[in-house]
Structure 1
Amino acid sequence: MGPITILDKSAFQSFSHREHRYFVRYFLENVTPVLVQEVTADLSKAAKDGKPSEEKVVELARKFHGSGTSANENYRSLCMSSLMGVDVPMDGRIPVDNGTLLRNEDGSTGMFIDMSFFNHLIMKLAANQADEHDRAFARRWREATSNFSLQGLTKYLSSRHIILPKSANTDEIKLSVDTMLAKSSLQHIWLEAILLLLKVDPSQATQVRVRWSHEETFMKAFAPFAYHCLRALLMLFVASRDAHVKAKPTDLVDLQYLYYLPFCYVFSSDDKVHRILAPLLIRPDQTFVRAPELKSALRELAGYFDARTEQERTWISYALGSHPPPLPNNLVSQLWRKHMRPWGRGMRNFASKLSEQESEAALQYVEELFKASAAPPPEADPAKRTA
């Protein structure tokens, strides 16, 4: 299991089937609702180059290699949970869409993760079994995105006479937004902005306001995940207003990927909005990578295995387990070194049936690979993740 990673559609679509196989081998993908919705929405697109849109959707859905992995809960419901005082972990874990907490006899807890609506939809799309309900879903999604704009936020800020400072460059976007979000006199304004933009049901909004009246504090502490989403939206507002990005109808769709940033360690995209805003929003223990760079690294790994003998591939598969080979300048190897625990002999694939002699030969072979790559020695480092 590799670093939890989110791909936007530009990255997901750019990888070949072969590159996707290596991606799912070395990364744990967080399947976001917005990615599945964007793939499904292609059902409503006109055919291009003589290729029906259904064929394109099937091709994309099959890149999930089955149902896809754990689907993230929708950001809107997570925002509501956050506003209601529920702790939404924002440390890289996936808040799964269809998980059930279970308690064992010894008092410990675990979780059963069932397939979600989005996992089932992926399988239907891959099997070319999309029905009229799915096409209607695609049309509604396409129509909704074509009407997205920042007009609601602009009107709200204007009515409250709130002016965010100008940003001369992209680095100043963060300063502009964070300066205003930190003003104590504006905290109730930001709360109402979230309730308005989320179109929260009046009864639920009342519950949130009652909670606010008892805990009145800074939004960052009151509802951390909702605050993160508002912060991302305000950054897009400033970036668009100050001409760092050219506004387009799908900007708020692209922004949804950034709402899910707290639930991964690696985010990959080649969208301009993401290239500008993701580095401003990620935690210190996260990495934003350009999709072409990750694609190149996956292709290099595929070529590396092609160049090995059958015996070498057997040794690597056994000794490394799920760990990638330590290629000196390969981005996948670098991401593993940053986000995962170092390789050790105990990480080998115990399901492989090798003799004791073959097992030792495989381990020695891999140790030589690490030495040759000048990678950090396979010793535990408390500063690195141990997941």
Structure 2
Amino acid sequence: MALSAEDNLRLNVLLSQELHAVRIDESKMTVFALTAKGEARVPLNAIGKDEAYIKEVKALFSTHVMGSPGGYPVYLKRWTRMGQARDESLAQLLLLGEPEAVVAAVHAPGLTDELAARAWWAMPTAENARHMLDKQAVVEGETGKRLAEFLVEFLPFEEDQNDMIESVRLVLQPGLITQQEKEELWARTKTKRSLYVGFLHGAADDLPIRVEAHREYETIKKLLLSLLEKKNPYALMLEKVLSEKGQATIKTMEDAFKKPGNQDVVVSLLAAVSKYFESIAPQGFTEGDIEMICEEAETFCGGSDDQLKEVISALNGASGNMQKSLGAMTILSCLSVKLVNPVFARTDAIGTVMRKKIKPVTDPIIEQLHILRH
């Protein structure tokens, strides 16, 4: 099938310009192009069936851009979504009028801010916005704020809990939203508790709530002063947890564990908590048994780790609860999906049923968080 004479002429005139991106609206049978001079629009006058005609239009663009009418190999979806597209070909991918080619560009690690802006014009979806905000060049560029604004506005329409968490995590990167927007986003956690997890991933050290420091914070900080100056990891973590910001984080973790909505939320929450405490994560602990982790942590805190012994010595019995706190932090640093894998492998339960099934895992975790708050 050949293109109509009118379409062939108009599309070739379009191709003679400096193109930045191409989008084909198949429902309206219209080609849109982003050029150096602005947007251009070419309504198509199809001969025969629309689907076959669109294929010919894409072949024209492919021949012009890639030298072959074959077009983008959409069957390589999994490969391109792994970020395998070559950086030097990203600009070309945006000129094919093929959505999957845009997705390939969006996933590529070499995506620049300028190319991100073009890709966003070509295919403005929440999924694409999230993938682009995973690139530091985009976050630091002009496009980052536009993408963050979109994700915040689109959040009420998200259905997937994991997507909600990821959107919140990404928009909380420095420089993307204002403090007021951050506080407004936090207000939504009252009705969408999974957003707590996004905050724990994206801004665990700077949550927009005020919580008083632990009652022993000032005393403990003075006792640990020399170790804090030496950057002792256990001293640093204990001081951090007992501070106002640390107590806000622990409270948020407690709130997040109260009613996780589904398995994705639980897995992401476990990862967020362990990441917060990762600087003191011990080596060689059991990974899939919370009871064993608790026992090993108790042994570890009374063992031979020199830096941990320095902290215990500095506290010098000032507070028996602080040794429990050191154990709690150690336990929380060991959390992972392996704790819930045995349960989730046997059930796809969500909500109340899921929470009941994972209580043997979550109850000890909540207990450790309680220790750090009291």
TM-score (norm 2): 0.29
Q: Which of the pair has more CA radius of gyration?
A: 2
Q: Larger helix proportion, structure 1 or 2?
A: 2
Q: RCO (CA 8 Å, sep 6+): is it higher in 1 or 2?
A: 1
TM-score scaled by length of structure 1:
0.28
